[in-house]
Structure 1
Amino acid sequence: MAKVGIADVAQAAGVSEATVSRVINNRGTVAAGTRKAVEAALRTVGYARTNVSNVVLLVTPGLDEPFFARTSERIMSALGMHGLRGVVCSAPVGGTQELDLVSAMVDAGIVATIFVSASNTLEGADPGVHRLLTREHIPFVCINGAFDQADAPVLSTNDALASQLAVEHLWGLGHRRIGLIAGPTGNRPSDRRVAGFRETMAALGAGTGDGTGDGTVDAAVYAPVVRIAYSMEGGVSAATTLLGAAEPPTAIIAASDEMALGAIRAARRAGLSIPGDLSVVGYDDALPLDFVDPPLTSVRQPVDRLAAAVAPIVLAQVRGRHPDATELMFDPELIVRASTAPAPR
């Protein structure tokens, strides 16, 4: 008996062999009626599926960062509940390694890709990655930022609200000189946090300002912003700059928990106590912050809700549906601990 092939299925369903291949491999877009006809033809002719891929690629900047590791783990768990397998690969944001990695995984037969705060967070990122996926009819989802000119679902933490929560908490404690340590310009989440910080401070009646880019801050400004690379060392450097101003802040908001811990180190080197002289707020809440000294107040990203929401969207894409590409915003939560207190007199 001759082996049944794709051509036999295509003839039985009245479609092209390429369409049959997309249905078998869960790749590309196939109309619901056509997919149903192909599935029926597969059963009718007795086609035996082999090596049907259900692998979803997760691209993330670095698994050594607790937030990225935790988010990837939660997403993989959620995908598993829908019969999909997640594979995590790390690549520097905006580098050629990301394109090479995605290209290799496309050749391996992935059915979808999730960008977990990868190059999708970078303004002006090389479009080669998402163009490759579009060309190969492989759907993708972005977390915390959309690619320019790419039609794909986006799920993001509401970073403007994150800044608002932190500012309003500190303002309620009597702080009026509040500084922000933010990530580099062009990083979408960081840009949104800066915008939310300035808007909230202005609404409360404070002046706003920015670092000059060379590490200096206008001493007369009550809401200075310093942009720097995400890291504990970056937090130390930025906090040192803020605390060296003629009118230093009584509170600092950092764009990551690592930056916040760096700010605490810089404050202690300057002879300040936390929170007696300086209140500090972090962001992410992915570290065991109850066990640092003092326990760190932080804005928690809604990782579990993001992961639970992204899995059914990916499943719908794999099945040939087109979820709405409108960006979904998930509200963060302020977790108050001992690193914030009333402003010093």
Structure 2
Amino acid sequence: MVAASAGVSVATVSKVLNGRSDVAESTRTLVQEKLQQHNYVLSATSRAESGTRAIVEVQVEAALVAYSSEIVQGVIDAGSQLGIDIVVSTRVGAAANLTSERPAAWARALALTGRRAVIGVTSELTEERLAAMSRARVPYVVVDPLGMPLARLTSVGSTNFAGGLTATQHLLSLGHRRIGYLGGPKTAACNHAREHGFRAAMEGAGLDLLPEYVTTGAFSYETGVNTGGSMLDQAEPPTAIFAGSDEVALGVIEAARIRGLNVPRDLSIVGFDDTQLAHMAAPPLTTVRQPLREMGAVALRTALRLAAGETIESHHVELATSLIVRGSTAPPRSTSGRGRSSRSR
């Protein structure tokens, strides 16, 4: 039907479906248009039987940063071992509009280009997009979804609550009582879990949670510089800050430097992720390690199992976090140096 509609041979349609290069671009465009008109989707089984290498696309919500680069590298490494071709794209500009405003066309386009599955990194997925992917028979797996996970969404993350708890308990063990939390987007599930871990540790120590010590923003250096700076400008600033990401933590270090504060003598800082930035920070950053490359590899293996029609044991997988202690944390200075201690219950 597609071949007759396009006025080409069945062999030509097969070449387009398999991504062969020996097809004129005008013919390829015409065939793809006809395939979309007929809602044709090549199944994962048919693609495997065609003998072509499977293609998995990794979509990053914004420009690559240290965190997302580590996850993408994990997918690439695992793809190399499994003989899978990995394509990386960012969901910005026209691509973001197509995804948000025309999810059905976006999903069909992915299927027509031979994508076996799609992995989203910190993606915000709507029910419409998820339904479109399901109809196109292209499995979608998300690493650290930006929104609260949908019931049918398959995702990979880490033990964010445990990480937040451990980071805060580390600061408490050093003697800090005025501890701030500077997190990421309010809608991010991972941010909620890290903040809840922070709150659990503080409440477990019998300390009041001061509203001015808990704030959110973006997982960015700028958030650390600006919002962290505002926290440090308070009449009674915290003696320690738990930042929701390494980039935020580095921004807080800069905000402290601008104000003449020394890390860790005047301010202790803990990050989250353990990216390369943590090693390059001055001083080296104490942080909660997420196994980012392993998370990417697990996302790929999960996506391929779904593409093969397998039943997975869980729609959400969490990998363990661990605290890495470096030079950005130390016991607080005498309370006479920077204000009174936090109130206890």
TM-score where L is the length of structure 1: 0.77
Alpha carbons of structure 1 residues 19 and 230: separation in structure 2 relative to 1, 3 Å: closer
- Residue 339 of structure 1: aligned partner: 328
From 243, 267, 270, the counterpart of 2:259: 270
8 Å contact from structure 2 (residues 157, 317) kept in 1: yes
Give yes or no for the alignment of 1:259 onto 2:254. Answer: no
Alignment of 1:111-150 (within 5 A): 111-120=116-125, 126-145=126-145, 148-150=149-151
1-structure distance, mates of 2:143, 2:43: 29
- Residue 292 of structure 2: aligned partner: 303
Give yes or no for the alignment of 1:108 onto 2:152. Answer: no
TM-fit CA distance, 1:275: 0.6
Q: Which runs of 5+ in 2 are unaligned?
A: 1-9, 12-39, 335-345
Alignment of 1:8-47 (within 5 A): 23-25=45-47
Secondary structure (helix, strand or coil) at the match of 2:270 reads: strand
Give yes or no for the alignment of 1:319 onto 2:320. Answer: no
- Residue 229 of structure 1: aligned partner: 218
Deviation string 1:246-288 (CA, Å, 9 cap, x unpaired) is: 2211001111112111111111222211111100111111124
Alpha carbons of structure 1 residues 300 and 127: separation in structure 2 relative to 1, 3 Å: same
Alpha carbons of structure 1 residues 88 and 203: separation in structure 2 relative to 1, 3 Å: same
Deviation string 1:276-315 (CA, Å, 9 cap, x unpaired) is: 1100111111124333211111111112332332333222
8 Å contact from structure 1 (residues 75, 307) kept in 2: yes
- Residue 192 of structure 1: aligned partner: 193
8 Å contact from structure 1 (residues 82, 311) kept in 2: no
Deviation string 1:164-216 (CA, Å, 9 cap, x unpaired) is: 11101111110011001111211221122111111121111111143xxxxxx
- Residue 55 of structure 1: aligned partner: 55
Which protein has the bigger helix share?
2
Secondary structure (helix, strand or coil) at the match of 1:281 reads: strand
Alpha carbons of structure 1 residues 149 and 67: separation in structure 2 relative to 1, 3 Å: closer
Q: Percent identity?
A: 30
TM-score where L is the length of structure 2: 0.77
- Structure 1 stretches of at least 4 aligned residues deviating more than 3 Å after TM superposition: 18-22, 92-95, 97-104, 145-150
1-structure distance, mates of 2:223, 2:297: 32
- Residue 77 of structure 2: aligned partner: 77
Alpha carbons of structure 1 residues 152 and 25: separation in structure 2 relative to 1, 3 Å: farther
2-structure distance, mates of 1:262, 1:20: 47
8 Å contact from structure 1 (residues 298, 336) kept in 2: yes
* Structure 1 range deviating more: 268-277 or 137-146: 137-146
* Structure 1 range deviating more: 290-299 or 198-207: 290-299
Alpha carbons of structure 1 residues 313 and 277: separation in structure 2 relative to 1, 3 Å: same
Secondary structure (helix, strand or coil) at the match of 1:239 reads: helix
Alpha carbons of structure 1 residues 92 and 285: separation in structure 2 relative to 1, 3 Å: farther
2-structure distance, mates of 1:19, 1:248: 58
Give yes or no for the alignment of 1:239 onto 2:240. Answer: no
2-structure distance, mates of 1:134, 1:243: 48
User: CA-atom RMSD, angstroms?
Assistant: 2.8
From 282, 285, 299, the counterpart of 2:274: 285
- Residue 183 of structure 2: aligned partner: 182
8 Å contact from structure 1 (residues 257, 298) kept in 2: yes
TM-fit CA distance, 1:128: 2.7
Secondary structure (helix, strand or coil) at the match of 1:77 reads: helix
2-structure distance, mates of 1:285, 1:260: 11
- Residue 8 of structure 1: aligned partner: none
Alpha carbons of structure 1 residues 20 and 143: separation in structure 2 relative to 1, 3 Å: closer
2-structure distance, mates of 1:333, 1:170: 15
Alpha carbons of structure 1 residues 97 and 248: separation in structure 2 relative to 1, 3 Å: farther
1-structure distance, mates of 2:44, 2:64: 36
Secondary structure (helix, strand or coil) at the match of 1:324 reads: coil
1-structure distance, mates of 2:299, 2:64: 22
Q: Which runs of 5+ in 1 are unaligned?
A: 5-17, 27-38, 40-48, 121-125, 211-216, 218-223
- Residue 343 of structure 2: aligned partner: none
- Residue 4 of structure 2: aligned partner: none
Alignment of 1:195-234 (within 5 A): 195-210=196-211, 217=212, 224-234=213-223
8 Å contact from structure 2 (residues 180, 214) kept in 1: yes
1-structure distance, mates of 2:261, 2:42: 68
- Residue 153 of structure 1: aligned partner: 154
Alpha carbons of structure 1 residues 162 and 103: separation in structure 2 relative to 1, 3 Å: farther
Q: How many pairs were matched up?
A: 293
Alpha carbons of structure 1 residues 72 and 63: separation in structure 2 relative to 1, 3 Å: farther
